[in-house]
């Protein structure tokens, strides 16, 4: 494979830097802490780490509210520490991408401070101001538990400013060429430092136009293409990963003709994996994957089970959302905005079989998978913490005080109860051959050995049983037959005649002759390579 296409079959791992490992005892995870853990990440099989925002920030949105695009918040270390991390990661064959937050800044960013100081400020036009709060009325509010409107009144200058997230995150005005240029400079700065690419935050919202919902507009795509062209010209092999929480057909344009994003998160498949596990039927997964357009050869989807936000239910119907809340958010405090603020293991009742099956789905669907830190050991969450902080608690390294995360007082409460660090931690799982960690590690290793997984297509088979998802992955001359039994009962499937042959069962490590019928144990899965 062309090495510039490394992302097409890479395993990603998402890290909240503050929560991962504290190297200096100040209670905050830091860049040096991640450097200390590269051996661990290499053992797991990670190819690329996505580090969440490390920029100086007043932390009204955990760093997605940036006050300075050109440095590292002291709590995380220094630019030299980042360089050190990148160097050490590359020695471990691991790449590093970081968040690029284009859409908005913090209200403490000097541009906004200047912008709101005076209507005649040269920075006024860096943001979106209006005399009325009636513009762009067709635009939804995203943080609807806290924000009544996308407009906030500024007393001093007597106008409203526009924001798609918290009021403390004013939207930049991408109609202003200076803003467009500024953000290219930001990208250049981090690319020159050696970063391997960006997870571009909240990209659908860059441009506003009256009479639209202000999402996915052609002008937004035009700017993103400029950013890609700039990267292609100066930094080939570095990637742009698109965060657009949209339907597959609306994400498709973000790949352009292979000239916009290299990768895009597949948001809608995620809740449908949880739906399938609860219903014991695969139909919702199949429908959304059939609705997923094909993408250019040099692009790839990014799949995930959880991330640092609430489990979003934006990409389901109202009826499905109510159903998901009922199933997965039995306590009202588990809900947040249009989602569920819980982690992977608690969502699946810490049921080992379901947790493995969900990972089997993640690692066999088209797209490069992302593992959210801690989910590889099945760590818990803390619902007492505000907003999404309950899924961003310190990584559970061992059962020593503070989970081996810090020698000081951790920035956050830890997880309590059954899934706390006393019961769930890396040290107790890493050497246990039967541990959850080792199941995930094995899946990652097998996935990486097989080119069939690096394509972006799949073929669903009707095997006569709605409880068993059966599909074929084919790429570079290899064919793989995958079976995932979503039911809590043993289930039998009928394999179509064309697929009846000898396969290598990857987990058993031996050849099997697949005839008409196979029976799968509850929540079990098979990865079979056609001989
Ligand atoms: C990030 C969130 C963040 C928001 C605003 C997102 O989509 O994932 O964590 O709050 O953008 O930056």
Mean pLDDT value across residues 307-321: 98
Report whether pLDDT(515) > 90.
yes
Task: Return the pLDDT at 3.
Answer: 85
Pocket test for ligand 1, best of 17, 61, 166 (most atoms within 8 A of CB): 61
Task: Return the pLDDT at 1.
Answer: 40
Q: How far, in Å, is the centroid of ligand 1 from the Cα of 202?
A: 7
Q: For this structure, is 138 an active site residue?
A: no
Mean pLDDT value across residues 325-340: 97
- pTM (predicted TM-score): 0.98
Which atom of ligand 1 has the smallest separation from the CA of 65?
12
Report whether pLDDT(498) > 60.
yes
Mean pLDDT value across residues 288-308: 97
Nearest CA to ligand 1 atom 8: 309
Report whether pLDDT(471) > 70.
yes
Under 8 Å between Cβ of 129 and 25: no
Does ligand 1 come within 6 angstroms of the Cβ of 241? no
Task: Return the pLDDT at 360.
Answer: 98
Q: How far is CA 116 from CA 28, 109, 127, 152, 256, in A?
A: 32, 11, 9, 12, 36
Confidence bin at 479 (pLDDT 50/70/90) = very high
Mean pLDDT value across residues 123-152: 97
Q: How far, in Å, is the centroid of ligand 1 from the Cα of 516?
A: 48
Q: For this structure, is 243 an active site residue?
A: yes
Q: How far is CA 249 from CA 95, 97, 212, in A?
A: 29, 26, 17
- Say what the alpha-carbon torsion angle 398, 401, 404, 405 is, to the nearest 10 degrees: 130
Q: How far, in Å, is the centroid of ligand 1 from the Cα of 134?
A: 25
Which atom of ligand 1 has the smallest separation from the CA of 388?
9
Q: Which two tokens stand for residue 94?
A: 């691991």
Q: Which two tokens stand for residue 235?
A: 């930094």
Report whether pLDDT(2) > 80.
no
Give the pLDDT confidence of 192-248 residue by residue, as tens digits: 999 999 999 999 999 999 999 999 999 999 999 999 999 999 999 999 999 999 999
Under 8 Å between Cβ of 436 and 352: yes
Does ligand 1 come within 6 angstroms of the Cβ of 64? yes
Q: How far apart (Å, rounded) are the C-alpha atoms in residues 37 and 110? A: 35
| Catalytic residue selected from 73, 201, 215, 284 | 201
Q: How far apart (Å, rounded) are the C-alpha atoms in residues 164 and 104? A: 8
Mean pLDDT value across residues 26-47: 98
Does ligand 1 come within 6 angstroms of the Cβ of 201? yes
Pocket test for ligand 1, best of 144, 165, 203, 372 (most atoms within 8 A of CB): 165
Which atom of ligand 1 has the smallest separation from the CA of 103?
12
Does ligand 1 come within 6 angstroms of the Cβ of 274? no
Does ligand 1 come within 6 angstroms of the Cβ of 52? no
Under 8 Å between Cβ of 92 and 39: yes
């Amino acid at each position: 494979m062309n090495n510039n296409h490394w992302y097409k079959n890479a395993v990603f791992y998402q890290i909240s830097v503050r929560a991962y490992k504290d190297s200096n005892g100040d209670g905050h995870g830091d860049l040096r802490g991640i450097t200390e853990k590269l051996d661990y990440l290499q053992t797991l099989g990670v190819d690329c780490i996505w580090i969440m925002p490390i920029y100086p920030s007043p932390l009204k949105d955990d760093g997605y509210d940036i006050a300075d695009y050109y440095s590292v918040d002291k709590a995380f270390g220094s630019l030299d520490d980042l360089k050190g991390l990148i160097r050490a990661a590359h020695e471990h064959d691991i790449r590093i991408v970081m968040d690029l937050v284009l859409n908005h800044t913090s209200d403490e960013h000097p541009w906004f401070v200047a912008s709101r100081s005076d209507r005649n400020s040269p920075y006024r036009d860096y943001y979106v101001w209006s005399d009325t709060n009636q513009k762009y009325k067709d635009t939804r509010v995203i943080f609807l538990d806290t924000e009544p409107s996308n407009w906030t009144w500024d007393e001093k200058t007597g106008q409203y400013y526009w924001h798609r997230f918290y009021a403390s995150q004013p939207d930049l005005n991408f109609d202003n060429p200076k803003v467009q240029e500024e953000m290219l400079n930001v990208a250049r700065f981090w690319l020159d430092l050696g970063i391997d690419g960006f997870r571009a935050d909240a990209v659908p919202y860059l441009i506003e136009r009256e009479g639209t919902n202000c999402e996915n507009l052609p002008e937004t795509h035009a700017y993103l293409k400029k950013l890609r062209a700039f990267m292609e010209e100066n930094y080939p092999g570095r990637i742009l990963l698109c965060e657009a929480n949209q339907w597959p057909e609306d994400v498709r344009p973000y790949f352009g003709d292979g000239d916009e994003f290299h990768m895009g998160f597949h948001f809608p498949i995620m809740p449908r994996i949880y739906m399938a596990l609860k219903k014991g039927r695969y139909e919702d997964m199949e429908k959304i994957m059939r609705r997923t357009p094909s993408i250019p050869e040099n692009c790839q989807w990014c799949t995930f089970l959880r991330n640092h936000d609430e489990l979003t239910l934006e990409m389901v119907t109202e009826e499905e959302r109510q159903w998901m809340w009922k199933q997965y958010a039995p306590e009202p405090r588990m809900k947040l905005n249009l989602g569920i603020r819980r982690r992977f293991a608690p969502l699946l009742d810490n049921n080992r079989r379901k947790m493995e099956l969900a990972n089997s789905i993640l690692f066999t669907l088209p797209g490069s998978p992302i593992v959210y830190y801690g989910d590889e050991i099945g760590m818990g969450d803390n619902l007492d913490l505000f907003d999404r902080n309950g899924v961003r608690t310190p990584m559970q390294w061992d059962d020593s005080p503070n989970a081996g995360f810090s020698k000081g007082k951790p920035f956050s409460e830890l997880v309590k109860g059954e899934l706390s660090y006393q019961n769930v931690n890396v040290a107790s799982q890493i050497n246990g051959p039967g541990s959850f960690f080792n199941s995930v590690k094995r899946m990652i290793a097998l996935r990486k050995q097989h080119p069939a997984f690096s394509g972006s297509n799949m073929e669903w088979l009707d095997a006569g049983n709605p409880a068993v998802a059966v599909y074929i992955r084919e790429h570079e001359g290899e064919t793989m037959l995958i079976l995932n039994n979503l039911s809590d009962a043993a289930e039998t499937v009928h394999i179509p005649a064309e697929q009846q042959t000898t396969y290598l069962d990857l987990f058993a490590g031996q050849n099997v002759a697949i005839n008409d019928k196979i029976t799968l144990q509850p929540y079990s899965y098979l990865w079979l390579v056609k001989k």
